[in-house]
Each structure stands twice: as structure tokens, then as C-alpha cells.
Amino acid sequence: MAKKVAKKKPAPKAKKAPAKKAAKSKAGSAFMKALKPSEKLAAVIGSASIPRTEVVKKIWAYIKKHNLQNPKNKRNILADAKLKEVFGKLEVTMFEMTKLISKHLE
């Protein structure tokens, strides 16, 4: 006699969690507000008013172009003459950098 093979029931479908709406960035958010750099900062990134996020990008581009990262610890930045005017010291961490830059934005 042939045994009957029980059919497997399909696994119950998991209920989908309600989709979260993607957070839309507001045109007037604080990060996107154009800020004017001080004279010392303008010597590094230019004098045009730009958002804070773009300022940080331009500073990093300057750091990489002039090879100003500490070779032993890449999180530290070794300031040249222009950046020393902005930072106020010869070596800063990348976390300090944003705090020091914010003092030069209006």
C-alpha cells in the first residue's frame, strides 16, 4: 500500500509593519541654511555663503589635497598656516574640527 504524503501547508505570511514615511528634508532646515564664512575660514574655502555641510566637505577636500592628516592617527588633522588661523592650534581631532569651524560661520 502506498502511503499518503501529507501536503505541507504554506507558512502563514507575516504581516507587514506599516511603512514609515521617509523624512523629507525641509528647505529651511538649519543644515541647509547658507552661512557666511569669516575672513580666516574664507582663506581656505572661499568667501561664498554655503551650507554648513558643504563647509565641512570643502575643509576635508583641503585637508586631503594638502595631506594634512596625521599619518599615525588619521582622525587627527595637522593644521598648516591657514588652518591654524581657523582652529587656533596645530593639531585637532576630526570631532573638534566641526566645533571649531562653527565659530567662523555667521
pLDDT in tens, the chain (106 residues): 666 666 777 767 666 666 555 555 555 577 788 999 999 999 999 999 999 989 999 999 999 999 999 999 999 999 999 999 999 999 999 999 989 999 999 8
Residue ranges and CATH numbers for the domains of the chain are 52-106 (1.10.245.10)
CA distance 43 to 101: 13
Packed helices 94-102 and 52-65: angle between N→C axes, nearest 10 degrees? 130
pTM surpassing 0.85? Answer: no
**C-alpha cell read off for 7:** 501536503
**Length of the chain in terms of residues written:** 106
Alpha helices in 1-106 (DSSP H): 39-45, 52-65, 81-87, 94-102
